[in-house]
Amino acid sequence: MTRPGAIRVLRAADRTDTLWKNGAGVTREIAVRPEGAGTGDFAWRVSLADVRADGPFSAFPDVDRTLTLAEGAGMDLTVAGARHLVDERYAPQDFAGDAPTGCRLLDGPVVNFNVMFRRGSVRARTAVVRGALGLAVPPGETLLVVALRGPAVLEGAGGAPDVGLDPYDALLADGPYERTVRTDGCAAVVRFTPVGPGGRGAGEARR
């Protein structure tokens, strides 16, 4: 059980490799909710996936996903029969996790930053920051910041110390939380909002 304002720094060095759900690749889990959830019962899950060969992606029923190319030349995906060319780094792309997806590598292995979230349970919005961005997360929402290229810093406020992130380190914060993220490279910022009745976010449902 998390508490409002809880903050955790998740170091890349502490992660272990695990096989994909379909056994065709390797992933390193950054964070998951509920904590300890498996591939079939998470509300949301964020990971770095190594794709080393052509082939199908794992299917995740009732899950949407945002994929961001972090390393490599890219992929030519076929999602539910439609082509999706993923050849630009640090450009998030959304697609359904339960749609049949085939992958052809453009020029060797890639590393993908993957955000997956249970449809109708939570909404996830992924952005990539270059430079500086002020972050304000209200109670009930969760923020994940991941340094994708180069280090990043969450600047302290009200006397709080700065939090430094090396490449692929992450900071997980439950609102309320306010900081400025600053990087000379690229950092992913993912905001998770619980979905209320009718598919609305928690804040929308209260209005």
Q: What is the DSSP string of 23-51?
A: SSSEEEEEEEESTT--TTT-SEEEEEEEE
pTM value? 0.91
Has residue 60 got a pLDDT over 50?
yes
**Dihedral-angle region of residue 14 (phi above 0 means left; psi in -120 to 50 means alpha; beta otherwise):** alpha
pLDDT value of position 200: 54
pLDDT computed for residue 194 by the predictor: 96
pLDDT at 205: 38
pLDDT of 78: 96
Read off the pLDDT of each residue in 42-55 and give the average, rounded to a whole number: 94
State pLDDT tens for residues 102-148. 999 999 999 999 999 999 999 999 999 999 999 999 999 999 999 99
What distance lies between CA 70 and its chain's CA centroid? Answer: 12
Helix, strand, coil content of the chain in percent (nearest 5): 5, 55, 40
CA-CA distances (angstroms) from residue 167 to 72, 87, 88?
16, 21, 19
The CATH number that domain 122-206 falls under is 2.60.120.10
Q: Where are the domains of the chain?
A: 15-118, 122-206
Q: Which CATH superfamily is domain 15-118 in?
A: Jelly Rolls (2.60.120.10)
In order of 6, 40, 136, the CA distances from 2 in angstroms are 7, 21, 18
How do residues 70-98 score in pLDDT, each as one tens digit? 999 999 999 999 999 999 999 999 999 99
Q: How far apart are CA 139 and CA 67, in angstroms?
A: 26
Determine what percent of the chain is predicted with pLDDT higher than 70.
92
Report the share of the chain in percent with pLDDT over 90.
80
